[in-house]
Chain A
């Protein structure tokens, strides 16, 4: 599904490489792959065009043509351009005289209400005393939703008799002043950027409450429309930042680039889950990798973290380093992988593995393979699982019979296990004296 971009580029250059020097035309061919990757990530057509032009200039102008590893060079340039365009995470501004007002705006269903509650948690953790101000009198139960969330995170919610968005916001601001609560987080109604009346309402609210931040909340699955949405919200209300939500799925989130390019406002937070503390700052390099569809080993680790408890991960890490990773651990890992999600997706997050596995990573085939592997391992005695080298001819026949497979299947599982053992010994501990710490510390 998402073959890593670097693999595709490598394939292009492998094909071209045989004839010697890489030419300008070859770079263009590689850039076609980059372009596809960006468009598949929903980066806007025109933003892609501008990006490709920049990458082309740098690639042709400099060292790619002489490089021994042209694919990596192109990936590096693209990745740098993307990282740079994404920029560093923006900080939230504070008003010189409290209360600070933060307005959340966006399309319907982009996640504003959940984001409002997450921001409240964020400020509370910093020792501030936020107030949530519901400003959506249109959607049935929108105010009720925010008030329940407020209760859940123990943050006060302004619940007044006002029936009109502007009046609700003014009254909430007054309440924040009298109760000395700051910041005030205003959750406005979702609206289409083409709806002139409702856009006018936002302008009036802004003029009334003079917010320090007007944050566009955008769904990471949004397509090409992101550009027009951001442009229109920015020109009417004046945005100060972007929050990209629902990044816990497989959306690549190319919209972040479109919004950055067209408004210049920074990305301030990302939403990565429905639990109310699932709001994080973001890492530009990781975000760039994700948009490019390159392997995202850190996301994989995070997802593992969701399904696996930290101690077990640590235990496996220890075993990997000490070389005592055995078939028992392998079985455990297989089961965890199965819990983590569609297998092809999980595998595609491991850089380079997507290509190695080739077509075998089709979902069904992979699942059947996992079941077979599991059956084979389960037919071994615990002693055999810990000491696979014991398995000779007669044990192999017994295991095959017990698992309803053939001796060849048993051999295949064993050699797979040895390969994975090697692969893990090479990849994880090698680049990750640091990553071992990451596993427990970085993702609490």
Chain B
């Protein structure tokens, strides 16, 4: 048999094939003596094989020696590099100033209105095509000390300020020169604002941050920093900022340090724990009960809490909450812990870049984000759970973020007629799912998403919340129309229920195609269609079928169908690395679900916009 004679060769081949960091030359094996009874031909073949084997062994030995030399050379080079690096670092100034951010100008044009409202005017009383331009400057300054510690400051100016003098700084408009700081609401806005500032430092086991900092997570449907240009259509106008203490670390590294098992490859896993102080003392005083003066003991309405002097007749007069001004605060206004609102944040995320999976190399981010928000005096204990996945391999991309908000609160003073008039149970959900396929010159993407709605804000269940207003879905349906309708309906103390342009009380689909014909040029086409979730009868009209399926809303005759649809297109071009240009257009049609005619919008439900953006990015 020939198995044994081939064994050394097989071993040698395997040794070469294995990706050992430092190959070692195989031991020289003496040729075995020829067995007795072998024919001459067999003997000759054996000798030939032995000769070939020896030649191979010599080759391997030579290569092993060469590798040893290369290894020694590499170590010498590494040492040299380290020395160079140290020398460079020693010569570097201890502080470096790093600047990030952008300045953008965005132009908006809406179709002709008035009698030509079929042309896509935004407002019913619009005389012709309506235009305005707004702007934003956001700059992040990082005072970096040897990458060990830093102070980060975020400033913004002209945030949402429209072009021109819109405050009549010049009495006669025709003579206007200096522009004002007027925002889209018509009110003046701060010209300059330090809106974020935090410091961070590296520790042996992680990193800490403290201060007023940005908060962003996943695809951005829950926490969205509102920085930069991350939307295919439209811009960011808001952005999350929190007063936070955060500790972040790589738990695998800690375990390795503890067990003293250091892997050559780092696992990009991050664990963060943070505490946010949301409110020290609300300016709106919370009581949680109402007081009317004049109720006497024995009356059904008598409440001893409202009888300050205890004489059997109520003497206090307030609602569940009462507006105050700062002058009404005592010196110890900040000392009461019961009215503090704070939250714990826990995040665990794996950020894999160019990793091997599913037989290819790609990126993969997976994480979860848990928040527990608390306020004692309103008996609020709300948990927000978010799961995020974003990966791309073989040109196929999958993105998902889902959020659920659960818990109990008495902080929402929209009372119901139950036994617990202002008790609310939060049951809120939302998600976005994206599936795409990308090649060098083109890409297709399917997206659908959901933001749960609330058909009755006065019952005991609080189920509605829009997705982040900086997560843009199209240019018109959500960004302009529903934003304006919800703003017109949720007024005054209920303004927190507005959509602000985010996906609201609906499911939607948002397929897109992308073309990248040349470097720095991108062409995008998209289609949006929105489907109602739980219409409330006011912001989104209710149908008889909605009532039949158990919703507590007042139906409007003839109401049916989806919210509406929209087609969008964009051309984006990058100029000279730092300057970008975007031309975007959209046409939308809303069905009778959205009461556009009752809030002064184009009663035909046809909307058209053309928008441009020119931006400088650091």
Q: Do A and B come from one complex?
A: no
A contact residues vs B (CB 8 Å cutoff): none
